[in-house]
Structure 1
């Protein structure tokens, strides 16, 4: 897509460059290679495999900052093998079997932060972020993890798969790491295995068709910086992005009350109460908060990411 600046634009934030050519890559490593070769000026996603080298490659032309993005493992609550009160123990146990601190450091070189709620630290100022809400369920505890999974009836069929789209985001690396963590805790090398789907389009079709048979990768990038946007679209009954089809009347009631509140403080408190139900039932496992990452060429200056991890293209200077 080729975008060009319009000289007649009447607003105060006129573009500082003549235009932007946007390129779509099916492999973020190829994009990074093109940046190094001088064939690309800006990448808005540094692949996990390059994070060890990016600071030496780019120096101060590498950006890493918090963004309104969270990564989760969502369960297909429409599948009886994963739904029900007893299975909540299994879901909680799986969460406790994931060594988030080790994965975020080794795989992502500290560009992710272990999640302890279902929102994002960028909501701290607005009051929606609740650090620690997930409690023990988001703490690595092999002994309790094994006990909970056993108490909940064990993994369905003794084995689980984590489905992910293989075409973007370096997902294979961290999914394999999560499975390795679970397998180590359960002392079974075959307890968990990654299940790649070739393209994001096919992946979305499987989610829409309720064809997931185990936990699957789910990421959320906020549309606007409010706690409502992290909860209602993903966990309200019948919501547009509720891909796990979680449904709870108490959660829905609290969301409705929060939306009807006459003051922001009351609304935020209502959404916080609703989020506590997620902590009880674990329809999705919070994994980590994602930082926005970008790298740019020597031709550019004044490159910045907004709170959505999107480059502010109009402010970039060329030359």
Structure 2
């Protein structure tokens, strides 16, 4: 499947910098303009980027004692956002307006007369910062406005905040009316808040008891997502799933959640062996019929028993073209009748037979040695028909699964909470909750501040082990069965010519890439298939030489001058700047072949593969994480003629015949020999430029136990537990297996 790193939306929490010269011209809120609304925690929308600008150091006029806490009437309303960890109180007759977008304030408040007005903003700065530093940033804008006068600036105390700073100023609006402003900045860990107060000049903002009370009751708390208790819970940073529909999921980022909520007939254990999940099985002598015996203990999260009918419905739904699955044919296509349903020629898969309520028979088109491995993929998971067909909105926003966890709550791009399903048929979860925070500029900083318990450490962050050597004791390192490579568009010049592809392959110093980009922390890939999936000797593959002289000769024989060479566009995922990998590739090609490369970025907020189909350049970066432990998952799905994920549209009849022959070969060694031949042919054809295989690095707090990735790199959270509080003692000494 598409690697999670290809889908990572490194979500940048933007912040609306307080530019007073813009704000003062906005009309004031009045009771007639907006109805009173209950204060709520707001779903996030689209991100915005904010760049910090250095300013002159602030010199506080004085450091006063903490703002005295005034007696707040019982009738005052309380705004509490437990996701962000902030509390504010305000008079009961004030108007509370819900924000309309991500970069809006958390809450807008105004008195019935229109003034004073209060807004509360949140942000997560790119790096750990103080309230004083945030104030410095905004003062640059404020000081540039001739109509603005800074009255005072000083450090203050805000309950729960690690640092706080206050700026008081006056400004003149278009009507020459003088407006008072008070800006209060507060930070806690990676979170930063600005309380913005606006009043008319004839109202003393400092001495106004109402304003004093609002400031005094501005409190920064430890985040408690959805107001849930944090005991027996772990918190992680992760990207938001693109979908929670097993039939539609095709990326590792979505699988992360789907595998906790749903389940199927079989699963992979820690050693990547197929073991029973909901069912055990028997195989016919001719290897074409599988009979699955469903456990009677399996239930959906509403308590209904799982039956053979549920699996027949789920598999038919996945194959139905109306569902729009891009994975069903690849993973279910060995079942008799799936192709016909996928083509719209039939409504029912002919190879599915219900023997009784808890017995399902599946007939294949031909013997397929890796069929059971394919059935561990989400496209084969069971879903609840009533939930799917009765929902007016996408049903997977409130899914009904059968896994060890159920979706408790989810605010898109902000936070997702999984809760233990007590009646799970398998190994019941030790944890009560798993919380995924989907916002944050720097997850490493969140980990340092104990805001999350686990963090993935990217290659660009591995230097953290030099500055924080104690983190090495919290490191969980494992090999992921994934391959990263550069693909060619083989359908048009220049890369429809295998000689030109070979020239580019020889012109790139791949060892330099491993050293410069990945600090020698990942193995150089000399083929397509990760080493843990193919035990045969890799020396059987053609050797890939770095030979720029030979590469230049090939190019000059085909093209008289660089100007005649077609324009080359290299496509990769990214926001603002090309990756170091892309820059080095462009540099190598320019130096060794005198050919310019244009780099085009596909924003990380979009599904890379879907976009790549329409904006693909001559060259494109790609990563593939194994869906199941068989070389077929790489060779067939990525390079067989006409496959959905064959991005370069490579086609070679001899290659296809080798894959077809391997598909029906039972003997594992014989199959591996065929796969090696096919892989060698790809390298000889220069169908791609192999870059690296993968290692993964996670930091895990000491109080977490059994955080063990499986052979595909996924965590089975039902086995994870807290060391000091193992509430579920069943098999307490065993981790995932």
Could you tell me how far apart the structure 2 residues matched to 1:254 and 1:214 are?
A: 27
- Displacement of 1:39: 1.7
1:33 deviates by 2.5
Which deviates more from structure 2 when the two are superposed, residues 219-228 or residues 171-180? 171-180
SS in 2 for 1:208: helix
C-alpha distance in 2, partners of 1:63/1:102? 27
C-alpha displacement at 1:55, in angstroms?
A: 5.5
Pair member with larger Rg: 2
Aligned alpha-carbon RMSD (Å):
2.7
1:78-135 CA distances to partner (integer Å, 9 max, x unpaired)? Answer: 223320xxx21221222222222222223222332111111101214xx3x6524553
Within a 5 Å distance, the mapping from 1:97-246 to structure 2 comes to 97-124=507-534, 127=535, 131-132=538-539, 134-137=541-544, 139-153=545-559, 157=565, 159-166=567-574, 172-186=579-593, 188=594, 191-199=596-604, 201=606, 203-209=608-614, 211-246=615-650
Question: Is the strand fraction higher in 1 or 2?
Answer: 2
**Match of residue 713, structure 2, among 306, 309, 315:** 309
Unpaired segments ≥5 residues, structure 1:
none
Mapped contact 1:95–1:285 kept (Cα < 8 A): yes
Q: Is the 8 A contact 2:707 2:720 kept in 1?
A: yes
Name 1:261's counterpart in structure 2: 665
Q: 2:479 aligns with which of 35, 44, 66?
A: 66
CA distance in 2, matches of 1:5, 1:262: 40
Q: CA shift at 1:147, angstroms?
A: 2.7
Report runs of 4+ in structure 1 exceeding 4 Å deviation: none
Which structure has more relative contact order (CA 8 Å, sep 6+)? It is 1
Q: Under a length normalisation based on structure 2, what TM-score does the superposition of the two structures give?
A: 0.39
SS at match of 1:315: coil
2:451 corresponds to which of 25, 29, 39: 39
The alignment covers a number of residue pairs equal to 304
CA distance in 2, matches of 1:91, 1:232: 21
Is residue 17–residue 317 contact of structure 1 (8 Å, CA) maintained in 2?
yes
**1:22 lines up with 2:429 in the alignment:** no
What CA distance in whole angstroms lies between the structure 2 residues aligned with 1:148 and 1:299? 59
Give the TM-score taking structure 1 as reference length: 0.84
Equivalent residue for 1:8, pick from 423, 432, 439: 423
CA-to-aligned-CA distance 1:252-298 (integer Å, 9 cap, x gap): 11111111223222222222222222012112111111112222234
Q: CA deviation at 1:220?
A: 0.5
Change (3 A) 1:283 1:22: same
1:313 Cα shift?
Answer: 2.5
Report the equivalent of 2:461: 50
Instruction: Tell me: CA distance 1:182–1:31, structure 2 relative to 1, closer, same or farther (3 Å).
Output: same
The 8 Å contact of residues 103 and 174 in structure 1, kept in 2 or not, is answered as yes
User: Measured at CA, do residues 227 and 214 of structure 1 come closer, stay the same or move farther in structure 2, by a change above 3 Å?
Assistant: same
Q: Which moved more, 1:149-158 or 1:300-309?
A: 149-158
- Partner SS state of residue 481, structure 2: strand
5+ unaligned residues in a row in structure 2: which ranges?
1-415, 725-737
How far, CA to CA, are the matches of 2:539 and 2:585 in structure 1? 21
Q: Return 67-76 or 274-283, whichever deviates more.
A: 274-283
CA 1:54 to 1:141, structure 2 compared with 1: closer, same or farther past 3 Å?
Answer: farther
In 2, distance between residues paired with 1:228 and 1:52?
Answer: 36
